[in-house]
Structure 1
Amino acid sequence: MATTMLQVKVKPNARASTLVQQEDGTWLAQLKSPPVDGKANAELIALVAKQLGVAKAAVDIHAGAGGRMKLVKVART
């Protein structure tokens, strides 16, 4: 099982949820959810899973759960 690490900058309270790769290789996630009670983190996990075609259980916030810069680990089979 291979794992991929993504550097993601999160912007909560956006009008629409999007996940776009930047020119420098990092990702920008704009999330509708507010950063309250883990709602933005849960939306980020669902968005990454949908974008990469993996199950939500395969996506984990490895570091930065309380900040805007996050390191997301994606397990691929």
Structure 2
Amino acid sequence: MTPPWRETPEGIVVALRVTPGARRDAVEGVAAGPDGAPLLRLRVAAPPVEGAANEAVMRLLAKALGVRPSAVTLLAGDTARIKRVAIAGEAAALAARLAELCRSG
């Protein structure tokens, strides 16, 4: 399966499947989306109210990848479970860390 991210000159863009209202924040690995495209599965404890879940997603990704929270930007899916985020930084290092998280998640 191809990874749910692609490298860009600024960093990487990641396709996500987010489950809000979970017991804990976690990166759960890769799953196929409704169209068969790979998505990185995340669970966040924050409810899907007033952007709380989106903020939790950005904090979780920043912490997991060792980047500043400001390096994570929501590109699409503000009110949807399927989201796309951009993460600024060195693309190869970010992709390697994501691959490691997917193996352990």
Q: Which runs of 5+ in 2 are unaligned?
A: 1-8, 33-37, 91-105
Choose 1 or 2 for highest CA Rg. Answer: 2
- Letter aligned with residue 88 of structure 2: A
Tell me, which stretches of 5 or more residues in structure 1 are unaligned?
Answer: none
Name the CA distance, whole Å, in 2 between partners of 1:17 and 1:53. Answer: 16
Residue aligning to 1:49: 62
Choose from 73, 76, 98 the match for 1:60: 73
Separation (CA, whole Å) in 1 of partners of 2:50 and 2:76: 17
Distance 1:23 1:45 in 2: 19
Give the whole-Å Cα distance in 2 for the aligned partners of 1:76 and 1:15: 30
Q: CA RMSD in A?
A: 1.5
* Corresponding residue number in structure 2 for 1:12: 20
Larger relative contact order (CA 8 Å, sep ≥ 6): 1
* Other structure's SS at 1:15 match: coil
Q: CA deviation at 1:23?
A: 5.7
How far off is 1:18 after superposition? 0.2
Aligned residues: 77
Structure number with the higher helix fraction is 2
